[in-house]
Amino acid sequence: MKKVGVATRWGLHTSTAGGLGEMLRRAEQMGETAAQIFVKSNRRWEMPSLDGEEAKEFRKGKKEQDLWVCSHAGYLINVAGSDETRQKSIRALAEEVRRAEELGLEAVVVHCGSRGEKEPSEARRRAVEGFQEALQRSGTQRVKLALENSAGQGSALARDVAEWGELVQSIPDQRRAACLDTAHAFAAGFDLRTEEGRSRLRVEVLREIGQENLVVIHANDSKTECGSGVDRHEHLGAGKIGTDGLRLFLRDPSWAGIPRIGELPPGEREDRENLAFLRASCSTT
Ligand SMILES: [Zn+2]
Ligand SMILES: [Zn+2]
């Protein structure tokens, strides 16, 4: 993936309330050049069917607006979980991937799963096979599966960058992708307030994930302390990472051209401020 000379895109997780057309209008109004959506309710298994006409309109509108869009898979999905959860997760993820492809999205961001009582290696094997099965079942060709790093909350996989990398590298070439969340990395022990912490994260991500696989950055501040292992997002600059740490991390030339998305509590003023923060953090000069 060539990043040189590519403008860096930025936006927020954007609501689809009122339909996908409404979402596009919202994105345009806010001036977003990238956005993330849910293609179904994020806290339920059920999926009301996707209207083919609405999907077509969305693809067209997204192109006209030159908007980069990814989806975030449902929070219940755990491909490393117990047999029943895992089967449900594979089915649900396959359908989400199919929808994302129908909508012309760039990637589906998904959590790597939680190991519960299982040995880490066994949990990773289940996750890897689960992701591959979901991709196969989806019958899709193009949309990428972007595995996200975790804060390590509970027994979540991919707190450790090497473990996250092992999972990412197991995804077939054409579909392989990763999503780096700054709040998760901070909660996982990377102190983004210091040059040492930022550079350690950069070195590990470039080595284990590879710049070409990193397709989106979740730019979130953190309510919780560095190393807490607890995932709580905070408005940009208002959390424990703070303005300087986040800005310096996002301005790193290694991440130039990679879209950044804030996943933050919505609000008219907050959205405006978070977007201004992201826009100002794109420059590498
Ligand atoms: Zn995230
Ligand atoms: Zn999070």
Average pLDDT (259-269) is 96
Place of tokens 């895992």: 86
Average pLDDT (69-91) is 96
Q: Please determine, for residue 285, whether its predicted confidence score (pLDDT) is greater than 80.
A: no
Which numbered ligand comes closest to the C-alpha of 222? 2
Average pLDDT (14-25) is 95
Band (5; pLDDT cuts 50, 70, 90)? low
Active-site annotation holder among 263, 270, 273, 279: 263
Active-site annotation holder among 44, 75, 196, 212: 75
Q: Please determine, for residue 2, whether its predicted confidence score (pLDDT) is greater than 50.
A: no
Q: Please determine, for residue 265, whether its predicted confidence score (pLDDT) is greater than 80.
A: yes
The answer to whether the CB of 184 falls within 8 A of the CB of 231 is: yes
Residue 97 CB-half CA count within 13 A: 26
Which numbered ligand comes closest to the C-alpha of 180? 1
Band (282; pLDDT cuts 50, 70, 90)? confident
Buried b / exposed e over 84-105, threshold 16 CB at 10 Å, is ebbebbbbbbbbbbbbbbbbbb
Whether 181 is a known active-site residue: answer: yes
Average pLDDT (151-178) is 97
Domains annotated for the chain, with CATH where assigned, are 28-280 (3.20.20.150)
Band (4; pLDDT cuts 50, 70, 90)? low
Which residues lie closer than 8 Å to 25 by C-beta, 6 or more apart? none
pLDDT at 48: 79
Active-site annotation holder among 43, 46, 66, 119: 43
The pTM assigned to this predicted structure is: 0.96
Q: Edge-to-edge, what's the strand order for the sheet holding 34-37?
A: 10-12, 260-262, 214-218, 176-181, 144-148, 107-111, 68-72, 34-37
Return d(Cα 269, Cα 26) in angstroms, integer. Answer: 14
Q: Please determine, for residue 84, whether its predicted confidence score (pLDDT) is greater than 80.
A: yes
- The DSSP secondary-structure symbol of 175 reads G
